[in-house]
Amino acid sequence: MNNVFVIDNPLVKVDVTNLRNKATSEELFRNSVKRISYALAMEISRYFEVKEVEVDTPLEKTKGFELTHSIVLVPILRAGLGMMDAFLEIMPKARVGHIGLQRDEETLQPVDYYYKTPKQLDKAKVILLDPMLATGGSSSAAISYLKKSGAKDIYFACLIAAPEGTKKVTQDHPDIKLFTAVFDRELNDKGYIVPGLGDAGDRTFGTL
Ligand code: PRP
Ligand code: URA
């Protein structure tokens, strides 16, 4: 599939196993999310652009590089927050927007409750963060909001993607790039990804 990328890395596979394991503590769950997020951040940063600058080493002048654009990270509340610190460590100058979306447990439709993003999204690489791509309702709606606010160059980082959500997001938004740590089999009749990891927000924040 064009514009869909899976992180192929043994350490990421080990951490995905930690996420899946129902016996994993909240501490290990959060640390595993963080380590996978570092890998996603590095992968997405391949698409960043730099220009040449001159730098003085202690010995002589030489060629260096600096980014030519800004970066905006946008976690979808709540579970996307678990990915944010790792992205901020890799991209320390990024600004941060927040999108509050909660899936209605009956209809599985996303209900929005908060939206605040930095200005000049049109000039930034905008990276949406949400660990779970299930039906795709939440992330597709979030991407539409970002586009309405001017975002033009959008990347979506998730941990587990279901086929249903991947299809929806790539059909609704063929222009964005989607990165995931793993693809799972399907959704169950409650809209949960299987085999999955359960409820990402609850497992991140201990609200099970
Ligand atoms: C989860 C998850 C995604 C959404 C995915 O959030 O973090 O945002 O569900 O499902 P979808 O692809 O079918 O829209 P949830 O609504 O449970 O909120 P929470 O993060 O506050 O727990
Ligand atoms: N949201 C989650 O947290 N987990 C799923 O499996 C689906 C949606």
Instruction: Name the residue ranges covered by the structural domains of the chain.
Output: 4-205
Q: What is the pLDDT of residue 40?
A: 98
User: Active-site residue among 8, 85, 107, 185?
Assistant: 107
Check: CB of residue 103 under 8 Å from CB of residue 137. yes
Q: Which segments in the chain show pLDDT lower than 70?
A: none
181-196: pLDDT as tens digits: 999 999 999 999 999 9
Residues 75 and 42: their CA atoms lie apart, in Å, by: 17
Residue for token digits 């080493």? 57
Distance 199 CA to ligand 2 centre (A): 5
Within 13 Å of residue 97, how many CA atoms lie on the same side as its CB? 25
Please tell me the residue having the least CA distance from ligand 1 atom 22.
Answer: 201
Q: What is the pLDDT of residue 2?
A: 83
User: Active-site residue among 85, 104, 175, 202?
Assistant: 202
Kindly list the distances between the CA atom of residue 54 and the CA atoms of 68, 69, 93, in Å, as whole numbers in the listed order. 15, 18, 21
* pTM listed for this prediction: 0.97
CB-ligand 1 contact for 103 (6 Å cutoff): yes
CA 53 to chain centroid:
30
Give the architecture (CATH level 2) of 4-205. 3-Layer(aba) Sandwich (3.40)
Q: What is the pLDDT of residue 68?
A: 98
| Type and span of the H or E element at 141 | helix 137-148
Q: What is the pLDDT of residue 208?
A: 87
202 catalytic residue (yes or no): yes
Residues 181 and 10: their CA atoms lie apart, in Å, by: 11
Q: What is the pLDDT of residue 204?
A: 97
CB-ligand 1 contact for 201 (6 Å cutoff): yes
Task: Compute the C-alpha angle 150/146/6, nearest 5°.
Answer: 120
Task: Indicate the pairing of strand 70-77 with strand 95-96.
Answer: parallel
| Mean pLDDT computed over every residue of the chain | 97
What tokens appear for 196 in the block?
């999955």
